[in-house]
Structure 1
Amino acid sequence: MERMMKLKTLPTTLIGIALLGAAVALAAWPAATKNQEQQLRSAAVRVDEVTLAANRSGIRLAGVARAAQQARLSFVLPGRLAGRTVEVGDRVRRGQVLAMLDSSEFQLAEAAAESALAELEVRLGQARRDEARVAQLKAAKAATTEEVEMAATSTRVFEASIRSAEVRLAEAGRLITESALIAPFDGTITGVDLEPGEWAGSGKTVVELAGEDDLEVEVEAPETVFGRLAQDQEVVVDLSLRGAVTTGRVSSQARAAGGPGRLFPVVVSLAPHPELVPGTTVEVLLEIEEKESLSVPLEAILNPGSSRPSVFRVQDGRADQVFVELGRLDGSRVAVVADLEVGDAVVVAGHTALADGDLVEVRR
């Protein structure tokens, strides 16, 4: 009987123990789940600091060195090109004849003017002698006042005719002079546009001449740079293909953009250098003073090509998403405008799957 009673109470005891174990397990489950969730949501990241960006930046603008003194030479008068004495690459001196028009017509006009002038000078001499003789006759009461006046008038007419003939002769000489194309300065012929026998219109380029001394380069600067350049500002000029460096100065700046890309022409006068000749490829290095701004590593930027790039700042073990406005690149860092401070830690690795407010674990 006693044994049967023990057997009856055993299942009840086992059920009580099982219920007690289940209760303990249920009591511990929320804490375990919370710890497991925290471990699952903590992302391992690497960070870097926000710093001040450099307040000076540089930009390289490429161009080709050219002679500062250049000319596209043409005739004032139209005519047939009778000859050209130079070819591309020839060195010329100031005053040297480079090309000639057919001036036969002008030479004939000059000869005719010279003949007319000579004839008038002879007739003027005769008129003056006649005037003197009539004056003597008048003194002897052998000539009338009217005859004296006529002789004087004849002299004045010939004098005026001679002045006109001298003008015509000078004009013929000018035309002959204008029919020769003269080098205005020492230099090198860089282009020829007309061959002998072709028609040279007034103002049509015949030859192109470049000076030999001072060199310059014209580059095109974006609007953001153009507004910060100053007249006579010194710049560094890199002759990268020749492995040399020289200097230059801003000599002129256009006041209007040179094209639809809003690029502004800037001319830089180049300092002499043995490796620098017309046609040399150069790069002008412009240093620009910048406003003080913050800088973050380039790899910290999320969605840099979107309208709202951002970074994750680590604060109190959590990722705080901060939207930024991107500025200039400086090596592996980029200037930003954002609600950040110098010394803030921003995520540079492990942030592709982060969300705002996620727990993070910083690893070195």
Structure 2
Amino acid sequence: MFHSISGRSKFLAFTLCLLVPILAAFGCGKEEKPPEVIRSIRWIKVAETSTLQVRMISGTTKPVDQTALSFAVGGTVETVKVRLGDQVKKGQVLAELDQQPFVLGVRDAEAELSKAQANVVERRANYERYVALYESNNASKAELDEARASFDSATSQVKAAEAQLGLARRDLRKTRLTAPFNGTISVKEIEPFVEVPSGRAVFGLDGEESGFEVSTEVPETVVINLTVGEEADVVFPGLKNRRVPGVITEVGARSRAATTFPVTVQLQEQFPALRSGMSVEVAFEFIPESEKGEPVYTGLLVPLTAFLVGAKKTHFVFVYDEKSSTVKKTQIKTLNLRENDVIVEPGTLKAGDIIATAGAAFLNDGQKVNLMKEEK
């Protein structure tokens, strides 16, 4: 029994003697610093580009001459002489009201005028009689003045009756609604025997000789760059993207909707397929300005993926330094967007600079990097 224990003890002692030096060697060994990991970055060389910005804004076509027509007097519609879509000429009668009430109005006004004229003749004769009596001392000054006032009142009544007759005759003429210019009937909301009030629109007339224009609502960031007289192409998506030149004729000074302003572009070409109410896209082109208010014609094209946003709306990119193989965090000034790229004002960044195009948020200023060869 003692021999067995003694043998096991010797075996354990021998094993420990072997393990202790090995463990000591590992425990007392000096820790090695892991090798520095150098990140590889995707990159691009910055290139120059035109800063010309194009913004496509939706709009609708309409005739330059477009108006709503209504009767100046109310009455019962007697005849409607045109249909929707009809071509009409200037002065052509479009519809008529029943004239009988207006004819009677003219006759009543004529009768009132005749009565007033007869009255003024009588009052004039009476006044002249009192003048003679006053001069022969057979009438007082008060009687003369009363006769004069009566004559003046009768004269005023004649003038009022003449004016009333003029209005009655005008109203009679207004029972005929005529076209103010050549054009096409675009709206018709009138039928015979219907009572219509004065001022209610019954026809819409689109001018055929003045051409067409486009009405748009432009954001405030664009409208500040637009000027009357500038060119702006108009694209017709429904006509195989036909492109027609246009000129800006109106730029609204006051917003009609939230942050948008009315802008009108007149088309410089006409074609048979052109209709009022067509949906179009207007290409507004403009050159951005620097912070000093000067136009910047040439910029640098930088992909959106290269951007890093800082505080107070600042923007940065990481520029690669070939000598030190490090990247430098560089602030830039943006001019405008172009699809998936940003046009940057030259300055801290210049053409030919190498910038990181991905993972900018994971880079540090002065960090050592490698350029990925496949991105040349």
Q: Please, what TM-score do these two structures have when normalized by structure 2?
A: 0.68
Query: Which residue, out of 59, 62, 66, partners 2:62?
Result: 66
Q: Tell me: CA distance 1:285–1:356, structure 2 relative to 1, closer, same or farther (3 Å).
A: same
In the alignment, what sits opposite 1:37?
35
In the aligned structure 2, how far is the partner of 1:68 from the partner of 1:191?
16
Query: Which residue, out of 330, 341, 364, partners 2:350?
Result: 341
The worse-fitting range, judged by mean Cα deviation, of 72-81 and 162-171 is: 162-171
In the alignment, what sits opposite 1:311?
317
Secondary structure of 2:95 counterpart: strand
In the aligned structure 1, how far is the partner of 2:92 from the partner of 2:193?
21
Residues 248 and 269, structure 1, Cα contact 8 Å, conserved in 2: yes
Structure 1 unaligned spans of 5+: 1-17, 132-157
Q: Tell me: CA distance 1:302–1:69, structure 2 relative to 1, closer, same or farther (3 Å).
A: same
Residues 288 and 336, structure 2, Cα contact 8 Å, conserved in 1: no
In the aligned structure 1, how far is the partner of 2:287 from the partner of 2:191?
52
In the alignment, what sits opposite 1:361?
370
In the alignment, what sits opposite 2:283?
285
Structure 1 position 106 matched with structure 2 position 102: yes
In the alignment, what sits opposite 1:90?
86
Structure 1 position 300 matched with structure 2 position 306: yes
Matched residue type, 1:63: G
The worse-fitting range, judged by mean Cα deviation, of 160-169 and 307-316 is: 160-169
Secondary structure of 2:172 counterpart: helix
Residues 332 and 349, structure 2, Cα contact 8 Å, conserved in 1: no
In the alignment, what sits opposite 1:238?
235
The worse-fitting range, judged by mean Cα deviation, of 345-354 and 286-295 is: 345-354
In the aligned structure 1, how far is the partner of 2:222 from the partner of 2:157?
67
**Cα drift, residue 242 of structure 1:** 1.4
In the aligned structure 1, how far is the partner of 2:47 from the partner of 2:79?
70
In the aligned structure 2, how far is the partner of 1:97 from the partner of 1:362?
80
**Cα drift, residue 247 of structure 1:** 0.9
Q: Tell me: CA distance 1:58–1:160, structure 2 relative to 1, closer, same or farther (3 Å).
A: closer
In the aligned structure 1, how far is the partner of 2:184 from the partner of 2:277?
13
The worse-fitting range, judged by mean Cα deviation, of 69-78 and 307-316 is: 307-316
Q: Tell me: CA distance 1:111–1:356, structure 2 relative to 1, closer, same or farther (3 Å).
A: same
In the alignment, what sits opposite 1:321?
329
Residues 43 and 350, structure 1, Cα contact 8 Å, conserved in 2: no
Q: Tell me: CA distance 1:205–1:346, structure 2 relative to 1, closer, same or farther (3 Å).
A: same
Residues 300 and 347, structure 1, Cα contact 8 Å, conserved in 2: yes
Residues 249-282 of structure 1: CA deviation (Å, up to 9, x unaligned): 111111111211x111111111123243323332
The worse-fitting range, judged by mean Cα deviation, of 59-68 and 345-354 is: 345-354
In the aligned structure 2, how far is the partner of 1:312 from the partner of 1:120?
96
Matched residue type, 2:270: H
Structure 1 position 220 matched with structure 2 position 193: no
Q: Tell me: CA distance 1:46–1:105, structure 2 relative to 1, closer, same or farther (3 Å).
A: same
The worse-fitting range, judged by mean Cα deviation, of 320-329 and 213-222 is: 320-329
**Cα drift, residue 334 of structure 1:** 0.8
Query: Which residue, out of 236, 247, 250, partners 1:249?
Result: 247
Q: Tell me: CA distance 1:181–1:233, structure 2 relative to 1, closer, same or farther (3 Å).
A: same
Structure 1 position 267 matched with structure 2 position 264: yes
The CA RMSD measured in Å over matched residues stands at 3.9
Secondary structure of 1:290 counterpart: coil
Q: Tell me: CA distance 1:320–1:164, structure 2 relative to 1, closer, same or farther (3 Å).
A: closer
Residues 231 and 246, structure 2, Cα contact 8 Å, conserved in 1: yes
In the aligned structure 2, how far is the partner of 1:294 from the partner of 1:259?
34
Q: Percent identity?
A: 29
Matched residue type, 1:217: V
Residues 288 and 335, structure 2, Cα contact 8 Å, conserved in 1: no
Aligned length: 307
In the alignment, what sits opposite 1:330?
338
Structure 2 unaligned spans of 5+: 1-20, 126-153, 290-295
**Cα drift, residue 299 of structure 1:** 2.6
In the alignment, what sits opposite 2:196?
200
Secondary structure of 1:238 counterpart: strand
Secondary structure of 1:259 counterpart: coil
Residues 44 and 350, structure 1, Cα contact 8 Å, conserved in 2: no
Residues 49 and 296, structure 1, Cα contact 8 Å, conserved in 2: no
Q: Please, what TM-score do these two structures have when normalized by structure 1?
A: 0.70
In the aligned structure 2, how far is the partner of 1:238 from the partner of 1:326?
28
**Cα drift, residue 237 of structure 1:** 2.0
In the aligned structure 2, how far is the partner of 1:350 from the partner of 1:250?
43
In the aligned structure 2, how far is the partner of 1:310 from the partner of 1:295?
14
**Cα drift, residue 98 of structure 1:** 1.6
